[in-house]
Amino acid sequence: MILADSLVKTFAGKAAVDHVSFEVRQGEVLGFLGPNGAGKSTTMRMIAGCLEPDGGRALVAGFDSAMQRRLAQTQLGYLPEGAPAYPAMTARSFVRFCLRARGFSGADLDTACERALDRANLGEAAHKAIGTLSKGYKRRAALAAAIAHDPPVLILDEPTDGLDPNQKDGVRALITAMAPDKAIIISTHLLDEVEAICTRAIIIADGRILADDTPAALAARSPDGDIRSAFRALTSMSGEAISSRPRRRAP
Report domain extents, the chain: 1-75+153-251, 86-150
The CATH number given to 1-75+153-251 is 3.40.50.300
Side chain identity at residue 1, one-letter code: M
Residue 84 class from Cβ within 10 Å (0-12 exposed, 13-18 middle, 19+ buried)? exposed
Cα–Cα distance for residue pair 153/170, rounded to 1 Å: 20
pLDDT tens readout for residues 184-223: 999 998 899 999 999 999 999 999 999 999 999 999 999 9
Is-contact 183 163, C-beta < 8 A?
Answer: no
* pLDDT in the model for residue 107: 98
Residue count of the chain, please give it. 251
pLDDT tens readout for residues 94-132: 999 999 999 999 999 999 999 999 999 999 999 999 999
Among the listed residues 211, 229, 209, 234, the one whose alpha carbon sits nearest the alpha carbon of residue 219: 229
Confidence of residue 237 (pLDDT cuts 50, 70, 90): low
- In sign, the C-alpha dihedral spanning 195, 165, 36, 232 is negative
- In sign, the C-alpha dihedral spanning 143, 147, 148, 149 is positive
Element (H, E) at 114: helix 106-119
pLDDT reading at 155 higher than 70? yes
